[in-house]
Chain A
């Protein structure tokens, strides 16, 4: 009897599963879901030093959807088929217009790797969000809740992005699309970075859960954590944009892998199998477009397989829907071994950035930024420095040097906000924004004196001797011959006529982070210090009052 019942119960559970799988396999994968579109893209770019940049982009578009009006109190039911519900709930709850979260590890080497596809390559965690003002919750309350919700969603320490690290640098992080938004709203920006945050598997797992096909099929199949987090540089990005077409979610993974290291310094050949230890067996059935693109290197002698069907001289394009299973590989059969390019081949980015803290003392130092212009024309950029209150900038010492001569005329539009005391008793970050002109083919050295703060012993983190990470500085494009203006959708709002003579940079660039060692007190001493200081106070107080209150007398000294 028991066996019969068990079989019945089993059939109850199994039958729907079987029928559902048969249903989905019946319907062809090329369907489209009303109001939602999903497509994925992979760009693989072999670099001259043998490394390979792979950029995964998974885009979900909610057509015709705009961010929630903060005044709207009733939230209608949310039904998504492809768009991740967990993220959708967060966006709706705090009526986020635009959201950018990146979790990266490593230092992006602009000189050798060029500009990244996704410009958010700040070391550690970076979160910024634009929100429409109004409604019952203030911007700061929504910001706090947003970062706590995202911290839970991505298992990252985003809760630490508190008021000590939050600022609103409008010019460097402009709103991506103004045209589709309601003009009646005031939009506010909150931005924070946490350079000490490290990205790892526990962040990738929840990230993959946001994808409609998880990591079972499609390009996400290649996201093998063991290979991804072994890369020289790796990062996850979450971008939510409000575009004219609707709400767009762009999930991205970037990694700079090094096949030369894998092969023991001999070869730069790569394939999906060698890079990710996996290949793509099937396309994601719900994706409307699914492509893998390979950037063709300048040098000859490579062999690409499978053979090129689409694309041109600069880019090979593979369509996953027609070409599965797919394992792209690129070989250089004539290289034995791979000849590393000479180290001083020209940098790939127009600007080379160096940023350092000079000075050996634990109290004083000089923050120095060297920007080398690699072009034959002046480059004008915005420079944004956001420093936590651990470090005080001495603005009267700011100076710029070119080839050893002081050139303060190259600094303009200085805007400085000292760190302000917040309502919770903590100091916010100090924000310095300047506009710099780097002369052609020369290096500009910007230097500012700093001092390091003496903290209470309870304010130091565990392992205080390690020091504190300072967030990266940001270089951002500016409008030439005019005040710093917003850049919208990668093009300036107005006045582009003079861009030929002077130039700016196409995207944001991040400098490396810094480590600052603060002077530390002795953490084992609180009782001793209280006792010793109080003893001294009492000793002096007691002696003086003893002298002041006792009567004088002349006594006979007994022999």
Chain B
């Protein structure tokens, strides 16, 4: 990257800090609710930029091992399940779906109760 610091994640974190520390207490209740959503959205973007590539590659690697092709992606997996071309009882498939779900929620909402329960 040719850009200076703060990098994109650091910039987002600064915005989030500003919203949380300076704006949150100034807005009426119905906007406070929306402001919380805005903060969540910024956090998703920030986590996706920091972790997204690694979490995606991790799933795609397992997927390609499972179906033994070098180019398969998540859409291909969805189609193979839809057409019942994979054994739905296969433990590796189930494990892959678990990993896919865990990795997605790690970016979208790492505090989500089910993820926390499964990690503990």
Do A and B come together as binding partners? Answer: no
